Amino acid sequence: MRENLYAIPEELQHSEFFNNETKIHIDKNTIDILQPYFSNEILYFHNEPLACLPWERKDEFVKEVMTRWNTVKEEICHLHHIRSREIHPVMIQGIALYFMLLFWGNNQPVKLMGWKESLKDFHAKAVNVEERLEFILLNPKLYHSYVQLAELMTEQYKQYCKLEALKNRMKKKE
């Protein structure tokens, strides 16, 4: 059991995702993209061998992110509708999915430390993503943050699809 405990890498340290945790349990046989957040990246930054890296096999993993987002989105909408105080952890799941879509769609592992700087080199990103995501991270319980997150997910997915279509078109021309 001890070999499954991993320190949170510096690249992923962020209080919203790993509050006071210093080590986290990951079962390498059953990796879930949300349990714990950024499992693939934690293993990657610890130089653990992985069967596949989501940012290298974007097609299947972006589909998984979007499928999970649809479930999380419904839950967030419901929680806002009933004015639940339990919105925060579910919004954090949604924000984690957005980071995965953003980074993996740009062929990169998620890096929360200095994430704004990383975005400068990304080709597929939503308009004003830095400001919008910063607002969401500062105010995850607000309904407006949910609306912004939903819009960012839609825009990011469109940017990803557009970039992939252009890449496929260029390959066909060769």
Residue 51 in domain = no
- Please compute the mean of the pLDDT values over residues 152-171 and round it to a whole number: 90
Same structural domain, 37 and 63: no
Whether pTM exceeds 0.75: yes
pLDDT higher than threshold 50 for residue 1: no
Work out the pLDDT band at 105, boundaries 50, 70, 90. Answer: very high
Residue 23 in domain = yes
Same structural domain, 99 and 25: no
Task: Indicate the number of domains in the chain.
Answer: 2
How far is the CA of 148 from the CAs of 17, 97, 98, 151, in angstroms? 19, 14, 11, 5
Contact 39, 26 (CB under 8 A): yes
Give the residue numbers spanning the domain of 161: 58-173
Residue 52 in domain = no
Whole-number Å distance between alpha carbons of 78 and 83: 8
Same structural domain, 12 and 38: yes
How many other C-beta atoms can be found within 10 angstroms of the C-beta atom of residue 16? 16
How does pLDDT run across 71-102, given as a tens digit for each residue? 999 999 999 999 998 999 999 999 999 999 99
